[in-house]
Amino acid sequence: MNQDDNILLPGQPVTIPNGAAPDLGGGLYLKDGVIRASLVGKLSRVGNTLTIPRPRPHPPAPESVVLGSVIRLSPLQAVISITVVDGIPLPQGEDFTGVIRVNDVRATEKDKVKLGECFRGGDVVRGIVLSLGDSRSYYVSTARNDLGVIFATSEAGATMDPVSWQEMRCPKTGKLEKRKCAKPDGL
Amino acid sequence: MAQITSFDRRRVNGPDDSFPPIFSDEDQPGSSSSSPLQRESRKPKDIRPIFLQTGLITQANGSAYIETGNSKVVCAVYGPRQAKNTSYSEKGKLNVEVKFAPFASQRRKVPNRDAEDRSLAVLIHQAIVPSVRLELFPKSSMDVFLTVIENDGIQSCGTAGTIAASAALADAGIEMLGLVVSCAGSVMSNGEIWLDPTTRELEHSRASLTLSCMPALGLITNVSQTGQVTPQEAIQCMDACEERCSDIHMVVASALHKNQSAL
């Protein structure tokens, strides 16, 4: 029963622990000077920020790290289907559409980017959401070392390994293919 | 000819005509033999007991099943998903759809014939939309699907639907200002106010009123009224409904607590 008491419900006032006024994170709101919960869940405090953590999938927001696969390529933009937002997979069929424009692929020599040498259809890409974009898609950027292609198959059909930030090697044929690779974690 | 046009291959088709079973008189508690102006089995300001459970539909992001007396409603919430074919919108969109099961009413109903389900959907949408923090869901839409399994009093379908939709939204983890609960009352022909009327009781009512509110915040989200009432009666009815709403809020809260601690 005591555990039940820690679960907050939408609209329930939150009693703030003593000390400096905390910042409000997700799942909380301030109305008429009272902090209230807007989700079902338990309160957690990280640093000076109070939140109700939400394990459920949510739509991308600016600064979210997303994973998606390339579904369409044109000289100007790559269209990706976003399936994971901030590490939480979206339900089947509820993917969001993202667009990587040619000048959002990398941070340097933006004008020399050829999209065909950075992505191919079916590649899985890690990116960061720049903005909400237009009515149809979110704008995504890969202009960071840890962002880019994280999974790709070669023409021979094998999963390739990254060898540099611009190239991947096929383990079957040994051929090099051009990709904008993400720096693997822990390197 | 009419029968052929109404035949829908995609559904399990019932018989062309169906009739309610005929019960012997003693089986029917509220039969016309007793005075229609004397409420049986409960007091005028009492509502039928509510059973509410969330998270029954595993495919949906959030769901709720509610039963009050003979009124039974299921609700499923999907989303937030990307709104397709719409222009850019800073706020999210909430879609509410209500469907009556063909067997929900006394007589078998052909689906999508009357506007009853759509007007109920509008009522439920108006009741819950002020509570949802749509500004946090740009470019997204959320779908709320309600199915009326059994209908005993159209008002109670609306109230049960509102409660179920709000509980399902909370279950889906969609940010809300507060839980919305709803209560209906009807003014009987003798001027008495009966809360949560059944179909049979509605036949003897002069007017009815549905009130939806967020008891946690003390805010009313929607009031809808049909029929003829004096202002005093309407205010009396709203007060009675609001009082009951805090009881219903406890039911919703305990259902959500139960589901959350079972995880």
Question: Could you give all domains of chain B from N- to C-terminal order, each with its CATH number?
Answer: 45-262 (3.30.230.70)
pLDDT, chain B, mean: 87
Q: Do A109 and A148 fall within a single domain?
A: yes
Range of the domain at A24: 4-51
- Tell me the chain A residues in contact with residue B177 when contact means C-beta distances shorter than 8 Å: 10-11, 29, 31, 36, 38
Q: Determine, yes or no, domain membership for A25.
A: yes
Given an 8 Å threshold on Cβ–Cβ distance, is A9 in contact with B256?
A: yes
How many residue contacts between A and B have a Cβ separation below 8 Å?
Answer: 88
Burial of B41 (0-12, 13-18, 19+ CB in 10 A): exposed
The pLDDT of residue B32 is above 60: no
Residues within 8 A of A (CB atoms), B 157-216 only: 170-173, 175-179, 214, 216
Given an 8 Å threshold on Cβ–Cβ distance, is B260 in contact with A7?
A: yes
Domain CATH number, residue A143: 2.40.50.140
Three-state SS string over chain B comes to CHHHHCCCCCCCCCCCCCCCCCCCHHHCCCCCCCCCCCCCCCCCCCCCCEEEEECCCCCCCEEEEEEECCEEEEEEEEEEEECCCCCCCCCCEEEEEEEECCCCCCCCCCCCCCCHHHHHHHHHHHHHHHHECHHHCCCEEEEEEEEEEECCCHHHHHHHHHHHHHHHHHHCCCCECCCCEEEEEEEECCCCEEECCCHHHHCCEEEEEEEEEECCCCEEEEEEEEECCCHHHHHHHHHHHHHHHHHHHHHHHHHHHHHHHHC
pLDDT at B77: 95
Chain segment B119-167, per-residue pLDDT in tens: 999 999 999 999 999 998 888 889 999 999 999 988 999 999 999 999 9
Residues within 8 A of A (CB atoms), B 141-160 only: none
Chain segment B188-199, per-residue pLDDT in tens: 988 899 999 998
> What average pLDDT score do residues B83-103 get?
86
Do the bridges between strand A138-141 and strand A96-101 make them parallel or antiparallel, or are there none, so unpaired?
parallel
The pLDDT of residue B238 is above 90: yes
What percentage of residues in chain B have a pLDDT greater than 90?
58
Chain segment B161-187, per-residue pLDDT in tens: 999 999 999 999 899 999 999 999 999
Instruction: Name the residue in chain B with its Cα closest to that of A93.
Output: B81
Chain segment A176-186, per-residue pLDDT in tens: 999 999 998 88
Band of pLDDT at residue B33, cut at 50, 70 and 90:
very low
Q: Determine, yes or no, domain membership for A136.
A: yes
Q: Do A112 and A81 fall within a single domain?
A: yes
Tally of domains within chain A: 2
> What average pLDDT score do residues B19-29 get?
67
- Tell me the chain B residues in contact with residue A7 when contact means C-beta distances shorter than 8 Å: 256-257, 260-261
pLDDT at B237: 94
pLDDT at B229: 92
